[in-house]
Chains A and B, each alone.
Chain A
Amino acid sequence: MTERLAVDVAIIGGGTAACAAAVALREVGLTVAVLEKRLCGAGASGVNFGGVRQQGRHLDELPLARRARALWDDLNQRLGEDVEFEATGHIKLARSEADMAELERYAERARQHGLELTLLGANAVRDELPWIGPQVVGASLSPSDGQANPRVVGPAYARLARKRGAEIREFAPVHRAISTGAGFETEADGVTVTSRWLVNAAGAGAGVVASWFGERAPVASLMPNMLVTEPLPYFVPRSIGVCGGDVYVRQIRRGNVIFGGGHGWGDAELGLARPHSEESLGGMTRTVDIVPALATAHVIRMWSGLDGEMPDHIPVIGFSSTTRQLVHAFGFSGHGFQLGPVVGLIIAELIADGTTASPIAPFAIGRFAGWTGGTDASHGGIEH
């Protein structure tokens, strides 16, 4: 028998942003239902690299990332869960003079958004990371960035949302949502929800949801390929990225070194993403170039996950351009983990207040209205 729910806000997708929105909406007194196709926080929210990074972001994303960063400091308290957030700093490495020039340009522009970056020359990088590979010529350090455990953040938001009275339905993939004039009717496995508002936070599946409302959103599947070693003595004190995005490395306090390498493979329709051996081996080689000491460490696991990627690598956040009271938040293009908590707030503000303090104009879905390209995922670097 199909359950029927009537709420103020229905949310398609149960990632971090969706569950954070559910919490915030409950706190302003609105009723909420979250419809998640598998388990909350187990998609891209739960299997990503775990970088909590502002540095290197598209400048349009920086105001959101700045606001999000403030939320991370209190997240343990807010969620009642140790999310293992640590402001280890994020260091972005240059492997050529051209890379260094790019870092210098970025640092200057980031400063205008209040993000202070420290440029390091070849010797200064080695003061920070004495073991770094020989091809590194310099770096940019963002001291306020850090890392956290992605496996626990989304589920903790989901639990908090449920505690605040949100209806959370897992293993409830949505087949159809329609505008009824007065609001929306959304059909999922086992449950039909009528609501005044609808939030499309469906990740890699969000393009399909947008199309139900006559909107073009070219969401490609992005499947980053990641690896983790056995625990090693702690020696990587910063989260590490490189210009070009083809290497990213961090070490957790209990010793495991997590790093990325290329792209996985899978099937977006099935929600399946698997690591790719050739890509893993390539990532291993590139990472050893940067962190030579890892050569004799052992990889104990490889994995991948499915995210939605937009052609311009920045998300869609904001009101629908076709349908009143429909809000989009998707397409985080491989770097949404840090933003999740703030995107939840922004969704709630749009619904409760009709506006948000954060500058989200660059993320309007309307930018793809005339889009005629395909939805091929990029196969270049993924910055974390």
Chain B
Amino acid sequence: MADRTVVVIGAGPAGLRAAEALVRGGVRPILIDEAERPGGQIYRQPPPGATRPPSALYGLEAKKAIAVHAILARLGEAIDYRPRTLAWNVSAQRLDTLGPKGPDALDFDRLVIASGAMDRVLPFSGWTLPGVFTLGAAQIAVKAQGVSIGRRVAFVGAGPLLPLVVHQYAKAGAEIVAALDVTPFSAKLKNAPAMLAQAATLAKGLWYTLRNALAGVTIRSDVRAIGVEGEGRVRGLWWRDAAGAEHRVACDAVGASFGLKCETQLADLAGCAFTFDAVTRQWVPRRDAAGRSSVEGVYLAGDGAGIGGADVAELQGERVALTVLEDLGKRIDAARVAELDRKLARQARFRGALERAYPYPAHLLDDVADSEIVCRCEGITAGTLRAAASARDAHEMNRLKAFTRIGMGRCQGRVCGLAAAEVLSRTLGKEVAAVGRLRGNPPVKPIPVGGFP
């Protein structure tokens, strides 16, 4: 049994907790992570030598961040930790990686995919101008590098990340000229009672909002349309409110993204079955409550298979590790499983309410101009997509890709795929689920032809 290979991909909260529980269960997992230091995106660590303390970097989550970071040091040689390593393909029982020593292949018995999430972007007027960042990127700039994305900064969002980033920037001393929430305030009120299932988390959200207000930043809800202005770089942001009034501010940087998108490529390559999540309007790999995917030997934890946030990721990481151990024929602590399941169920209720409180801002996609770029890698406009749909019979995503090159660039549709599906579905008058999803191909991220970094 000792020579069974268990691989965990991702050293964020889910992957680290999974590795920890596997070690406790007598397995020495291989932990693969793209970053140089553990923590994932949410608890990303600054490069060695940076001096800002965790309290400044992670705010109210500092304790959790420190605890998650400490896992690796504690585990030491009990795991085979491989940082700066990209998992670029998985097929059958083989995982292909590219790390500091070049390409490698692992034959695994069990694979835990904890690939996390990325910012979800939508096309809007001016979104490709230099100076426009995603909220996550804006956050990483502050957390990892200790720099602001600009001097006069505006933020746009559709999820709980918005108040947090605004808070972090206000605290770092940036001048915040606008903070816009494109989802309606009424949805938040309506779902507030259900969010009490996680009173502490709700309180934190309120605390950020309050602190932001004290710092003189008000988050405006129910924003109906936005656009970035400037020639060659960001000069300003305009928006239209619910009453139809237009507003303008001058700024030199904009942080804008619209919730999170699951990083699903590895699950796709592994052959996992997917389902369409109608609330967050994205395709996610199917998993059962114990974390099993539809493919034997492949397990899913954390935001890579459905957005739950960092706390849920930690719970799922441990939960999935117990499932792996059970499937390897090891005895597991049934009481702990029950406890985790109970906590996860409570989190799920909160999360459901949170997602309904920040509904997908579909209205922003209703009138994307024909001239607007949807796919940045290939420079494909909304007009090109619409023309392919109506004149060239592109009635599903892979046809659209074949005809227009959407999703054929460096990002392989990770950034633009969901938005393109929204544009296609509107053009055809179909449900977005009915236009399908881009078929995944390796590599998950670009790899050098020479094979060595």
- On A, residues with C-beta under 8 Å from B are 39, 42, 46, 81, 151-152, 155, 159, 227, 229-230, 265, 274-278, 280-281, 284-285, 287-288, 294-303
Contacts and interface: CB of A to CB of B under 8 A. Distances in A.
Contact of A230 (B94, B403, B410): B410
Interface in B385-419: 392-393, 398-399, 402-403, 408-410, 412
A294 B449 contact: yes
Given A159-B392, A278-B105, A39 B447 contact: no
A42 B441 CA distance: 16
A277 B447 contact: no
A278 B393 CA distance: 36
15 contacts: A42-B402, A81-B392, A155-B393, A155-B403, A159-B393, A230-B409, A230-B410, A277-B94, A277-B442, A278-B105, A281-B103, A285-B451, A288-B449, A299-B448, A302-B441
A112 B442 CA distance: 44
Given A155-B392, A277-B91, A278-B105, A298 B447 contact: yes
Nearest to A162: B393
Interface of B: 89, 91, 94, 96, 103, 105, 392-393, 398-399, 402-403, 408-410, 412, 441-443, 446-451
Nearest to A46: B402
Given A42-B402, A155-B402, A159-B392, A230 B446 contact: yes
A230 B410 CA distance: 6
Contact of A288 (B402, B409, B442, B450): B450
B450 A151 contact: no
A277 B448 contact: no
B105 A300 contact: no
A278 B91 CA distance: 11
B96 A277 contact: yes
B105 A277 contact: yes
A286 to B, nearest CB: 11
B449 A295 contact: yes
Contacts, number: 81
Contacts of B403: 151-152, 155
A297 B450 CA distance: 8
B88 to A, nearest CB: 8
Given A277-B89, A301-B442, A303-B441, 17 more contacts: A39-B399, A152-B402, A152-B403, A155-B393, A227-B449, A288-B449, A288-B450, A294-B450, A295-B449, A296-B449, A297-B448, A298-B446, A300-B408, A300-B409, A300-B410, A301-B412, A302-B441
A299 B398 CA distance: 20
A151 B409 CA distance: 15
A123 B402 CA distance: 39
Q: Most chain-B Cβ atoms within 10 A of its Cβ — which of A227, A230, A287, A298?
A: A298
B221 to A, nearest CB: 39
Given A230-B410, A275-B441, A277-B105, A284 B94 contact: no
Q: What 9 pairs between A and B have smallest CB-CB spacing?
A: A295-B450, A298-B446, A151-B402, A277-B96, A294-B449, A284-B449, A300-B446, A277-B89, A301-B441
A122 B402 CA distance: 39
Nearest to A259: B449
B274 to A, nearest CB: 16
Given A230-B446, A277-B94, A302-B443, A284 B410 contact: no
A299 B451 CA distance: 10
A239 B402 CA distance: 21
A277 B97 CA distance: 10
B449 A298 contact: yes
A320 to B, nearest CB: 32
B408 to A, nearest CB: 7
Contacts of B448: 295-299
A342 B449 CA distance: 36
A303 B91 CA distance: 13
Contacts of A299: 443, 446-449
A286 B161 CA distance: 47
A296 B450 contact: yes
A44 to B, nearest CB: 14
Contacts of B399: 39, 42, 155
B7 to A, nearest CB: 15
Contacts of A280: 442
Given A151-B403, A152-B402, A277-B94, A229 B449 contact: yes
Contacts of A81: 392
B227 to A, nearest CB: 28
Nearest to B439: A303
B258 to A, nearest CB: 25
A296 B402 CA distance: 27
A150 B447 CA distance: 25
B379 to A, nearest CB: 9
A300 B446 CA distance: 5
Q: Name which of A46, A81, A275 has the most chain B CB atoms within 10 A of its CB.
A: A275
Contact of A284 (B96, B398, B446, B450): B450
B333 to A, nearest CB: 38
Given A155-B392, A287-B449, A302 B442 contact: yes
Nearest to A81: B392
Contacts of A230: 409-410, 446
Nearest to B378: A254
Nearest to A293: B449
A46 B398 CA distance: 12
A204 B443 CA distance: 27
Nearest to B269: A274
A313 to B, nearest CB: 27
B262 to A, nearest CB: 20
Contacts of B442: 275, 277, 280, 301-302
A284 B449 CA distance: 5
Contacts of A277: 89, 91, 94, 96, 105, 442
B63 to A, nearest CB: 39
Nearest to A298: B446
Contacts of A300: 408-410, 412, 443, 446
Contacts of A295: 448-450
A265 B408 CA distance: 22
A298 B452 CA distance: 11
A275 B442 CA distance: 8
Nearest to A154: B402
B434 to A, nearest CB: 13
A81 B409 CA distance: 22
